[in-house]
């Protein structure tokens, strides 16, 4: 059986499909920055918290980094309604992604904080820097330069992963592609367009993040 490509049948749907890039980017930014903030809090608790809170933070990291996102997403969207808790597709997506991502980002940021050398802190103290000046000019700059490449890669990973939100009905790039495919039955043509869109978004994000890293933090990152 042969399959004949018919891009003409989906030409009018292409603007609609590509319009899903905005929800994809919106989800990515919200998930990434919320998870990064939560991850930073968890990392600080693990490093500076008491025995109980530090272990609880470690338990959170263990649970989130060893739980399939697909399972958590479906539990929130399809499981909780059995207990009377109804979440919208967007809410379930954000909660699942932020929870899972926070564990990974906590470890990335914890590694960056631990990479600060004691000699740098001693030098700051010798120069008479206050605690805030030490955090701003020594710790923060060092941590950002250390973790920027990993955070940039995770940002792109998050953007590509938002396609899973289509499984619970979120109308982002992949969700729109599924909708058009169910109507036109031209899956190869539709998902070829979507694949190209994801490649363009990934390259654009890589270049933007590399530029920001070089301009603000003097970090040299390779565009993937």
User: Which residues does the chain have with pLDDT short of 70?
Assistant: 1, 131, 135-137, 216-224
CA 100 to chain centre: 10
Tokens of 37: 């903030």
Question: In Å, how far from its chain's centre is CA 218?
Answer: 23
SS3 call for 170: coil
Sign of CA dihedral 96, 113, 212, 153: negative
- Tell me how far apart the alpha carbons of residues 34 and 42 are, in angstroms, rounded to a whole number: 12
**Cα distance between residue 217 and residue 4, in whole Å:** 50
- Could you tell me if 94 and 27 are in contact, meaning their C-beta atoms sit under 8 angstroms apart? yes
pLDDT at 76: 95
27-79 pLDDT per residue, tens: 999 999 999 999 999 998 998 888 999 999 999 999 999 999 999 999 999 99
What are the chain's domains?
Answer: 7-217 (1.10.3720.10)
For 150, residues 6+ apart whose C-beta sits below 8 A from its C-beta are: 108
Question: What's the confidence (pLDDT) of residue 222?
Answer: 60
End-to-end CA distance of the chain: 38
Token couple for 117: 């050398």
Q: Whose structure tokens read 């941590």?
A: 143
């Amino acid at each position: 059986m042969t399959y004949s490509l018919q891009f003409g049948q989906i030409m009018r749907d292409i603007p609609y499909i590509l319009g899903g890039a905005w929800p994809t980017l919106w989800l990515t930014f919200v998930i990434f920055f919320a998870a990064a903030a939560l991850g930073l809090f968890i990392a600080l608790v693990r490093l500076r918290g008491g025995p109980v809170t530090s272990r609880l933070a470690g338990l959170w990291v263990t649970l989130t980094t060893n739980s399939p996102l697909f399972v958590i997403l479906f539990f929130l969207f399809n499981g909780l309604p059995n207990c009377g808790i109804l979440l919208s597709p967007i809410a379930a997506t954000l909660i699942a992604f932020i929870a899972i991502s926070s564990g990974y980002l906590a470890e990335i940021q914890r590694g960056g904080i631990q990479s600060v050398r004691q000699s740098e802190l001693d030098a700051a103290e010798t120069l008479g820097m206050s605690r805030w000046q030490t955090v701003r000019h020594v710790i923060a700059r060092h941590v950002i330069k250390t973790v920027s490449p990993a955070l940039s890669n995770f940002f792109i990973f998050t953007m590509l992963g938002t396609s899973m939100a289509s499984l619970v009905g979120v109308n982002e790039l992949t969700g729109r592609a599924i909708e058009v495919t169910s109507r036109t039955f031209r899956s190869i043509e539709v998902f070829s367009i979507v694949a190209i869109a994801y490649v363009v978004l990934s390259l654009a994000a890589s270049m933007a993040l590399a530029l920001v890293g070089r301009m603000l933090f003097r970090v040299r990152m390779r565009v993937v």
